[in-house]
Structure 1
Amino acid sequence: MTDLKSKIRRLYTGNSKRARRFRYGLITFDALTIVYFITTVALPETTTLTVLNTLLGIIIVIDFAARLWISHSPRRELTRIYTLADIAVVFSLLLAPFITGNLAFLRVLRGLRLIHAYHLLRDLRRESLFFRRHEDAILAAVNLFVFIFVTTSIVFVLAFGEAAGLTGYVDALYFTVATLTTTGFGDITMSTPGGKLLSVFIMVVGVALFVQLARAIFQPSKIKHKCPECGLNRHEPDAIHCKHCGEPLKIETEGETQG
């Protein structure tokens, strides 16, 4: 059992070609499931979708159990937000076959799989130099993307419902984007107090996320690399010395000659 645990840990954390391929496979799976849950939120629950959702739930459970098993701190792993989101997603997937009523709340829970994008970003930070160079802009874009589609799922369930189908989901997406950009066309509005409060929340958070994205795109890019002397962890990509304490840095590059 110890040998098996070591093999699994090497797959998740090792530097071999096999381990890197395995992790890129997990990254691909994470990305595809996020897209899948976005595109199927407005589709009616059929037998095929139920079987596929159950299969995805089992795979997510296996991945989750493996990460938890090899973790040096299982308790800390259990408290991460994307771990809690995955637990909710698995609950929604595996419980659906036993519920015959309205599945709206389960669809909202499945939308939380978007939060797993932050786990995906953590993996990319380790695997991709390109990501580390552009991390601020990518993270800001992911924040906005996650907010838009989680909010769209909530708006779809609350204001349109399963019967509205794909057209209703597009309307929910349209309302969300129009609200968070404060465009306010007024052709789709919330009439209840709860709906109006949701609209206010979308406006406030949406504007903040747009500003964050714009700042990340236009400000000078920096790369995360902790200075061994003073601990400063943000530096220019071509830095050879820490600007705070002067300590020599060894930032990973793609082969450019540093000045």
Structure 2
Amino acid sequence: MTTSGDPVHHSPKATDGLRLRARLRYLYHGTQPNAVKFRLMVIVVDLAIIGFFIAAPILKQAGWAFYLVDAFIALILGLDLAARAYAYSDIRDWLRKPIVWVDLMVLATLLFPAWLANFGFLRLLRFWSLLNSDLFWRTIGRKFDDTRVEEVTRAAAALVTFIFVTTGFVYAYFRGKAEGINGYLDALYFTVATLSTTGFGDITLPGNWGRVISIVIMLVGITLFIRLAQTLIRPGKVRFPCPRCGLQKHDPDAVHCKACGLLLNIPDEGS
């Protein structure tokens, strides 16, 4: 039993664990050059993995070599997720994040390829989770003061992710069943033609479910495209939390908060 004034002694294992957690927090959340370089390396590796996911339908022809790379990527993603979880202060709060569940779903398709083979197209969600992660914006996005680049990037990521996830779905479930869909490029061609409502009609999905899927692709795709166009056209905003109501974004020349009317003092870009 110790009193409040007695020093707290940790076992060697506990001390090593605290040092490891402190080191991981430094790497994943720190602002020092070494931490930023580490996160840049993580982002580059992530982009390479995403490229592998995109090319996976073609690379599967390599046989056992493909599954060997698949297992290696599963190891990398598993270690990365474990490190992020350990570096986070509250694991329960970390598990509440939708991005975390997306990454866990991607990891599951890698760990259990035999059972989740038809869900391999969900791996492309990794692109969306990367460009919406705090790690990405603490590393890349910290160079941008306003939110315009962030909004455009997030909107473009959502559209690109939807295109490739839908392409993977069409390829996985309609290859050889729909006339004209014999390869990945055919599925990509159908997705883009349907999303843009061009509708050449040379490739169509069979049955009522095929029509329903085509309608969903058109509706969701147009919505994401309009969202991207709006972020490109509408005036940019700056991130300046209102002290009274907490509204995060305002027009660069705003004098009053448009939500509560409080007088603001937004710094000029040159100041």
TM-score by length of 2: 0.81
Determine if contact 1:148/1:177 at 8 Å carries over to the other structure.
Answer: yes
Give CA deviations for 1:22-76 in whole Å, capped at 9, x if unaligned: 1111122222222220122333252211111111111111110111112122123
In the aligned structure 2, how far is the partner of 1:225 from the partner of 1:153?
40
Aligned match of 2:108 in 91, 95, 99? Answer: 91
Give CA deviations for 1:59-115 in whole Å, capped at 9, x if unaligned: 11111011111212212322322222222222222223xx3xx97414224333333
TM-score by length of 1: 0.84
Alpha-carbon distance, 1:167 to partner: 6.2
Partner of 2:120 in structure 1? 107
Alpha-carbon distance, 1:250 to partner: 4.9
Determine if contact 2:148/2:231 at 8 Å carries over to the other structure.
Answer: no
Mark the runs of 5 or more structure 1 residues left unpaired by the alignment. Answer: none
Partner of 2:35 in structure 1? 19
Alpha-carbon distance, 1:6 to partner: 0.7
In the aligned structure 1, how far is the partner of 2:130 from the partner of 2:239?
19
Query: In terms of Rg, which structure is larger?
Result: 2
In the aligned structure 2, how far is the partner of 1:228 from the partner of 1:23?
32
Determine if contact 2:128/2:157 at 8 Å carries over to the other structure.
Answer: no
In the aligned structure 1, how far is the partner of 2:50 from the partner of 2:19?
33
Determine if contact 1:125/1:132 at 8 Å carries over to the other structure.
Answer: no
Partner of 1:213 in structure 2? 228
Query: Percent same amino acid at aligned positions?
Result: 35
In the aligned structure 1, how far is the partner of 2:150 from the partner of 2:80?
25
Partner of 2:14 in structure 1? none
Determine if contact 2:175/2:182 at 8 Å carries over to the other structure.
Answer: no
Alpha-carbon distance, 1:17 to partner: 0.6
Alpha-carbon distance, 1:2 to partner: 0.7
In the TM superposition, 1:31-50 aligns within 5 A as 31-44=47-60, 46-50=63-67
Alpha-carbon distance, 1:7 to partner: 1.0
Alpha-carbon distance, 1:136 to partner: 1.6
Give CA deviations for 1:173-212 in whole Å, capped at 9, x if unaligned: 1111111111110000011222111101001111111111
Determine if contact 2:131/2:153 at 8 Å carries over to the other structure.
Answer: no
Aligned match of 1:56 in 53, 73, 81? Answer: 73
In the aligned structure 1, how far is the partner of 2:182 from the partner of 2:208?
24
Partner of 1:117 in structure 2? 130
Q: Matched residue pairs, number?
A: 244
**Equivalent position amino acid for 1:174 in 2:** Y
In the aligned structure 2, how far is the partner of 1:75 from the partner of 1:42?
39
Partner of 1:82 in structure 2? 99
Mark the runs of 5 or more structure 2 residues left unpaired by the alignment. Answer: 1-16
Greater relative CO, 1 or 2 (CA 8 Å, sep 6+): 1
In the TM superposition, 1:1-259 aligns within 5 A as 1-44=17-60, 46-96=63-113, 99=114, 104-120=117-133, 122-127=134-139, 128=141, 129-130=143-144, 132-160=147-175, 168-237=183-252, 243-244=256-257, 245-250=262-267, 257-258=270-271
Structure 1 residues 94 and 159: CA distance shift in structure 2, 3 A: same
Give the superposed CA RMSD: 2.5
